[in-house]
Amino acid sequence: MRGLGGHPLVGRLRRRAERQRLIARGILGGGALRALSDRTRRIGPGDILCLVTLRDERARLPWFLDYYRGLGVRHFLMVDNDSSDGGADYLRAQPDVSLWWTDASYKAARFGMDWMNALLRRHGRGHWCLTVDPDEFLVYPHMDQRPLTALTSWLESAGRRSFPAMLLDMYPKGPIEEALCAQGQDPFAVARWFDPANYSIQKNAYFGNLWIQGGPRRRAFFSHDPLASPALNKIPLVKWDARYAYVSSTHMLLPRGLNLVYDEDGGELISGCLLHAKFLSSFAAKSAEELDRRQHYGDSREYRAYHDGLHRGADLWCSESREYRDWRQLEDLGLISRGNWA
């Protein structure tokens, strides 16, 4: 397949130059981070790491940390982007968390990805690294019986260096503003519903990744312009190497081969989902804040759509919504696959 500019070699050279540029940006961007609690010397060989950028997410943190500890994450590398809710103090007290702080522009740091690339290069090399937002929760085949180390060991034995997960927006039944979730509470005890279908998939020929859109955000907030709805494809779990870099959020990476996480010959490769706990009662205030800050992609176009939708009154539940049970349900719906991981 030909890259941009015609000949495939041109595309390869452009991607190589882009990867080197992103690595350099990460190195420079890391200079904006000030360590508040650097416990990275405690990272052991083979430990799975989790990397997060956050701002004012104190209420989510207890459940988030316990969830990923339960899956087998052994160390968290977290960047606090000038929070004011006490979250940094909470994280500093956690023995398995290394925390950095910055008041630099989230937007100028490519929406935090320069900071993530910096920490991945500095501390993630040779480790399986899970890069997620504080409202994203990984679900994968056999997770009720097998920890993340079992998944990563199998991926390595199969010659895989990366693992994809579609972002699955979860929502309550009823108005979003009434979906109260207490600090430390399982968010999916409140936002238990999701769209079982209504997704479109395209292939990005240049980077090789899939581009997935749809779900409740497209039908509720972007029905007037479906192509502008948020991307749901992610590659959050990677066996990191100094030559790697995330390009756009965790939607795609370089080198290009890391994005080839699907089978083009009619079979299925293993995949997961990221349950997305965005639509809770705090969503309206968060959307208003982010709209005012204008630190997100496209001059916060996505948050303008949320603001307009919330103003009209947003209830994402519909007659086709499904109540979440477990990973097997998602496999039956075709939203995740165990591939040949028996």
DSSP classification of residue 44: P
Structural contact between residues 271 and 164, judged by C-beta atoms closer than 8 angstroms? yes
- Comparing 40-44, 174-178, 199-203, which segment has the lowest mean pLDDT? 174-178
- Radius of gyration of the chain from its Cα atoms, rounded to whole angstroms: 19
CB 247 within 8 A of CB 22: yes
Q: Looking at residues 176-204, what average pLDDT do you find?
A: 95
pLDDT of residue 266: 66
Statement: residue 297 has pLDDT above 60: no
User: 92, 115, 146: which is closest to 29 by C-alpha?
Assistant: 115
pLDDT at 4: 47
**Is the distance from CB of 131 to CB of 246 less than 8 angstroms?**
yes
Give the pLDDT mean for 225-249.
96
Rounded average pLDDT over 285-308: 66
240-284 tens-digit pLDDT: 999 999 999 999 999 999 999 998 776 789 999 999 999 999 887
- The pLDDT tens digits for 145-183 are 999 999 999 999 999 999 999 999 999 999 998 999 999
Strand pairing category for 162-163 and 237-239: antiparallel
The model's pTM: 0.93
Phi then psi dihedrals of residue 202, to 5 deg: -130, 160
Would you list the DSSP string of 229-279? Answer: SPP-----EEE--TT-EEEETTTEEESGGGG--S-TTS----BEEEEE---
pLDDT value, residue 3: 44
CA max distance for the chain: 55
> Which amino acid belongs to residue 309?
G
For the chain, what is the mean pLDDT?
A: 93
pLDDT for 252 equals 98
Helices (H), the chain: 8-29, 61-71, 87-92, 113-119, 148-157, 215-221, 283-293, 297-312, 327-332
Query: Which whole number is the average pLDDT over 59-75?
Result: 98
Q: Which two tokens stand for residue 274?
A: 């990221």
Q: What is the pLDDT of residues 303-328, one digit of tens each?
A: 677 867 665 667 899 999 999 999 99
